[in-house]
Each structure stands twice: as structure tokens, then as C-alpha cells.
A and B are shown apart, each in its own frame.
Chain A
Amino acid sequence: MQRTAHHDFARCKRLAAFVLLCVLPAWARAAEVHVPAVVEAGQAFSIPVQGSGQATFYLVGPDHVVKRTVSLGSDLQIQSSDVRTAGRYQVILCDASSSCTSATFEVKAAQPAHLSFFLHPSRVPVSTRDSIDAAAFVFDQYFNLILTPAAVDFRITPASGAGFSREVSTRRGVAWMRMDSTPHEGRVQVTAALDNVEEARVIQQVAAEACGLRMKAVASGSMVTLETDPVRDCSGNALPDGTVVSFTKVDKAGKSTVDTPIKKGIARVQFGVDGRAQISVACGVVLGNEVVVNGKL
């Protein structure tokens, strides 16, 4: 019950403040208030106020309201903490006779101080077109999105080879670009930079599908050992250890399959052979060569 009453009281307070803020500007007839049209976020400034006596001052911002009693005839100081959030502000001044005057001004974002940088994906196959997306959001020190155009420099530093950069202008606070992955696997660092602000991310470029998959067979009695050449993609990058390679043998005894992971760059397996055997190798959806073993090679 007490809780409900407390909530009702708070709701009434908010309603009263809302009515006050809506109605007061309509009474704005008295002394005029001259405010700058645009102020930078976090920048303290003063508003000259004419007249004499006491007045009530209201500052209505996007995320807070300030109310204080001020003396007319002197400058009204606006603290930097009162204008940290970018957006439209309204100043209302009401004198003792309840005669009010108002003015509006804009607070724009300050200088770039933070970059929120999204780089996608975190892993990408090499030599893939338009596979890397980079987006940088530019904020000031109070985390206001800076809407005025600014040039963001995307610097790309591959693990091997020369780095390069691309300058992109922000639109509505965001700069983005799309690029191809390079032909070599490894870490690629992408740094978004604007003035003295930098934010770095890392992409792992990984080998693409296997290419030219080949195996060779070494017979020993009734056993045959199959071993792939180093498994690489079409750009010559080694597929990572742990990648599964499938060997399939068909002979008189039936069909035998072994899915074995690549170890130290190659995949190896041993089969017993019963007469003529046809053996094939595959990695994912990529087929390799076939060998035929006739009990002996």
C-alpha cells in the first residue's frame, strides 16, 4: 500500500514537471534570453541575463533537467556537466511575476575521442571476394555519435606482404568498407584511426578448400600405408592440423573408410588389403586422386 502511494506521488511529480515545462514557454513574454545557437558538448558557457531581482532558471536537455534560482542582471553560468549530451536544449527563465522567457540551442558532439570498431568475420578463407566488413562508429569523449563527416583511416597489416590503407569518410557517424581477403593465411590486423584515436582488430585468414589433393600408397606385405602430400589450398596455404581427410578403400572384403585428421600437414592411414583394392581420398567436398592396389603395387 505504502509502495503504491509512493509510486502515485512520484507519478504526480513527473506529471507536474511535464505540465510546467509545457506551459512555461507559452508564458514567455518577459526578459529575453540570448543563447548561442550551437555549443560543443561538455563546453561551459554563460548566458547574459538583463533585469533585476530573482528568477527561476530551467535547462531542459535530452537526458536531464536543471532547475535553479538565479539573480537577474548577471551572466548565467552553464556548467560543462550540464551539456555533455548532444541534442536540443531549451532554456527557460521565469521572474518573480511568473513571466517567463525561453530560448533553444543545439549541443553538438565534441572532438573524436572513441572509436567503436566492428570487424567481421573473425576468420575468413583466403582470396575470398568482399569477405571482410569493417565499420567504425565515431564518438566524442562523452560517447555522443559525431554526425559531422570525418575521415577514418582503415590500415590493413597482413602477416606477410605489404600493408595498405583506405580512407573512408563517415556518413551519419559511421564509416564502413568491404574488402577481399588476401591470398596468404595468417593474422591480418585492421586498425581504424581518426586523428589520435585508434582501435585495432585482428582477423585470422585461414586456408580455403583443399586443392590438388593427392596421396601415395606404400605397400608392406598385406598392408598398405596411404599418405597425402602436404594438404594445401589453391593459394598454397597449408590446411590446418585437425582438418579431416577421408580415405575409402573398396576391395573383396567390402568398403572401409577412415576419417583421419591432418597431422603436421599430412594425413596418413593404414589399411589391410585383400586382393585388388581401389582407394580414394577426399577432404570435405573436395575429391583427391585414386590409387589401385593389386595386393602388391
Chain B
Amino acid sequence: MKWALVGFLTVATALLVAYAWLQSGGLKQHAMFSSATPEEAVHALMSEIQAHNYQQAYASLDRSSDTDLASFIRDVAGSDGSLRTYSSLQTAEVSPLHANGDQALVRVRMNWSSAVGSLDDVRDLRVLRDGPVWRVVWPKPAFSKVPLQVVSVNYLSWDVIGRNTSQKWGAQDVDTPKVRITSMNAISRPGRVVILGEVENEDTVPAYLNVTATLLKADGSAIDEEGSFDLISHVLLPKQVSPYRIDFPGVRMDAVKSVRMDARALLVPASADPVIAVMDQKVSKDGLNRNVLEGELVNQSGRPVNIAQVLAAYYDNSGKVIWVSDGYVDQALMPQVSVPFAVDIPDDIAERMKSYRVIVNHYSRSSS
């Protein structure tokens, strides 16, 4: 009788522990960390990256991976204050492309969350069988090395001396920069109305610019007012032109009678440095068969640019702006180093567009 009670308690405890393990996602976790198939191996690797266990992730790689731990961490976690360093891996979608008995090719679509929205990183990874498990071969990241050099930077910068509050009425003041909306186009997109176009700083001083649009009904009352937020280059140097896009979610085009535009500019200190070249731009398809505008950014100055945002305006045959899209680059732009970028183009826009123009917004930790 006594032993029967002990046996019952032992079995009950084991059952409860097993139930708790299942409830806490143990089964799923086991599947994620096991590497019995190529997909499971990639899932396991992604789980380690998601948990910031970079050493364990690196240890799980196949030995044929031609990368060291520091390069691997730099590749997945970012460096130099880039956007990737402020991001975390949210999801990883894994899909097999090809497999045989000993090796497989697996596509992983990593979705990183950041302060500026989600960023996709699609990679095709080779996975090799290593006895009973599969291991990912991590390709050697191609980090460009810049030879040591001195880059002279002597571009103009502008400072502003503000008005003294003790000055009397009528004392001279400095005007705000003169900016002009050079084009405006209202288009209907699924579930929203979009206002887009271009704006130019016509002045000889830099401008901090914001464009707002108000949609008006037939009776003149406002439907909604929105600003361009980050779909514009806010700081415009003299004679610089920026595209802008303003989204009005939930508004139908047939409800809009007219649009009131407002471009407000402030005089701000600014620097003409850095110059970022946008090289080898072309429209192509990405790994997910989406239309993208891709190219390379080259920071021509001597200081790193931590976060870069690409803004692209697309024009039809008549030169009218028909779409504006943007994309953040998750790598820092080191001096003189090419960094690839790609921004999405909706399918219908890709069919109609005749030309495009790209500008780059940049943010540097040490910049003014």
C-alpha cells in the first residue's frame, strides 16, 4: 500500500511536469532547437539570433562557414551605430528551395523590427548534413575595407544667429527660407488617398521643411489633415529638390473636392557634408519576385553616416510624379564604401513609370 502511494505520486508528478512543459511551448521550442531537418536547423539558428545568443548561434554553424565570430556578430547584429544595432529580429520565415540527401538550400526571410518600422532581410542559406543533424553554412560577410587616409572636408556649413528678444519693434529679422511646391498629384490607392509631389528650396540658405496637406469636401470643410512625416527630406540645402508623400488612410477619393497644401520652412543650421552618391540604380525583381529599385550608396565624405534613408520618386511619361517610396538601409555608410539598397515599387507603378530619381536622407550621431 505504502509503495503504491509513492508510485502514484511519482507518476502524477511526472505527468504534471510533462503537461507544464507542453503548455509552456516546450514542444515548439524543442522543434526550433533541434536540427533534424534543414528547415529546423535554420529555425534553430534564427531562434538563437532572436535571443541574442550569438556565440551559440555561431557554434551551431557548419565548420565550412568561412567566417569568424566577430564578423558573424557584425553581420547579424550590425555595427557602427547602424539601424540594425537598434533592431531586433521579430520573425523568420523559412522555405526550402532545394534539397538532397546531404545538402539543401533554404530561403529565410528575416523580419527585423526597428524604430522606423520593419525591415526585411532575405537570404538563401546552404545547409549541410553533419551526421544526425543539419548545420547552416553562413556565408562570409563581405565588409569593404577602406585604406587609411585623410579626407579633407571643407564644405560649407550654415549657422543661424537668432533674434535678440530685447530688440525693439520693427528691428531687422532674418526671413525664413523660401520654398516652393513644384508639383502635386493626388492619387487613389487601395484604402487611402495619397498626395505626392516635389518641393524645392529656392533660397540660398538651408531649410528645415515640412509639407502638410488638408483634404477638403465640396462645402470647403476639412476631411483630414496630414503631414509628410518621414517621406520627405526635411533638411534641404539651397536649390535641393525633395519628393514628398502624404498618406490619408481610410479616405476615398470621391469624397475629396480639393486639397490645400502648406509648405512650412524654418531657417536651421546645416552642413553641406556628407555627399552621398547613389550609384548603379536599376529596377529589377528581388528574391520574392517583387519589383524593386536597387542600387548602391557611397558616402563620399570622411565621417560615417549611421542611418541612411533612400527616397525615390517615380515619374510617368509626362514627367508627373506618380509614386514616392522609401527604404531604410540597415548598415552604416562608412566613408568611400558601397552599401546596397533596395526600395519596393508597387506593380502598377512599375508598369507605368518612365523614370525615377533617388535622394538620400542621412542621420549621424555626431552631426549637428
Contacts and interface: CB of A to CB of B under 8 A. Distances in A.
Interface of A: 116-123, 137, 201-202, 206-207, 210, 239-246, 253-261, 263, 269, 283-285
A286 to B, nearest CB: 8
A251 to B, nearest CB: 9
B318 interface: no
Contacts of A259: 240, 275, 359
Interface in B157-206: 158, 168-170, 172-175, 178, 182, 200, 202-206
Contact of B278 (A119, A201, A258, A285): A258
The number of chain B residues touching the other chain, given as a range, is 35 or more
Nearest to A253: B280
B279 interface: yes
B237 A261 contact: yes
B238 interface: yes
B200 A285 contact: yes
Contacts of A240: 156, 204, 238
Given A116-B170, A285-B200, 14 more contacts: A123-B178, A137-B170, A206-B204, A240-B238, A241-B156, A242-B272, A243-B238, A244-B272, A254-B279, A257-B281, A257-B357, A257-B359, A259-B359, A283-B239
A116 B168 CA distance: 9
A257 B278 contact: yes
Given A254-B281, A261-B156, A244 B170 contact: no
Contacts of B174: 122-123
A254 B282 contact: yes
Nearest to B168: A116
A244 B237 contact: yes
A121 B172 CA distance: 10
B155 interface: yes
B275 A260 contact: yes
A123 B160 CA distance: 14
B337 interface: no
A284 B237 CA distance: 10
Contacts of A122: 172-175
A25 to B, nearest CB: 36
Nearest to A241: B156
Contacts of A120: 175
B281 A242 contact: no
21 contacts: A118-B170, A122-B172, A122-B175, A123-B203, A240-B204, A241-B272, A243-B204, A244-B238, A255-B356, A256-B280, A257-B358, A259-B240, A259-B359, A261-B272, A263-B154, A269-B277, A283-B239, A284-B200, A284-B239, A284-B241, A285-B200
